Amino acid sequence: MIEGVKIKKLRVIPDERGRVMEILRNDDEIFEKFGQVYLSTVYPGVVKAWHYHKIQDDFVCCLKGMIKLVLYDARENSKTKGEIMELFIGEHNPLLVKIPKGVYHGWKGISENEAYVINVPTEVYNYENPDEYRVDPYKNDIPYDWKRKDG
């Protein structure tokens, strides 16, 4: 487990009308502060990676479909520097994952259809000076291969 990453198992409550699932509450132990909420989608087999933030933490939840969420700790003063975390999240494994600032992250769509990902960052997006530092998904120093692991 990468230092500072927190996971909240989400509970789906079904009844005859449908389902409800609380994602993040301000009285949750995992909650820090609210910046904004946005939806991102990813098509099957597409990789959206890598980036990290210097100011904000992200809270990521996949609502529809499934993604492979991968985290890489490149923080110099972290006890878990160099560690990789791979999580499979979505409708078959409903989780909320807190990704701390400084941790590279990205995901790959692994379901048959487009996956819907909600992100609740602790800061609002600054259009003039985004808190987003990107590297190529395949050509970088991160020791991770996005290929599917059959076997």
115-141 confidence digits (pLDDT tens): 999 999 999 999 999 999 999 999 999
* CATH number of residue 99's parent domain: 2.60.120.10
- What share of the chain in percent tops pLDDT 70? 100
Rounded mean pLDDT of 16-41? 96
- What share of the chain in percent tops pLDDT 90? 98
Into how many domains does the chain fold? 1
Whether 151 has a pLDDT exceeding 90, the answer reads: no
Structural domain of residue 73, as residue ranges?
6-10+35-134
Long-range contacts of 127-134 (CB under 8 A, 24+ apart): 131/53, 131/54, 131/55, 131/56, 132/51, 132/53, 133/51, 133/52, 133/53, 133/54, 134/50, 134/51
Residue 147 lies in a domain: no
Residue 139 lies in a domain: no
Average pLDDT of the chain to the nearest whole number: 97
Rounded mean pLDDT of 40-48? 98
Work out the pLDDT band at 108, boundaries 50, 70, 90.
very high
Contact yes or no for 53/74 (Cβ under 8 A):
no
Whether 149 has a pLDDT exceeding 90, the answer reads: no
Residue 148 lies in a domain: no
CA angle 34, 21, 14 (to 5 degrees): 170
Residues 6+ apart with CB under 8 A from 124: 35, 36
Residue 74 lies in a domain: yes
Residue 51 lies in a domain: yes
Residue 77 lies in a domain: yes
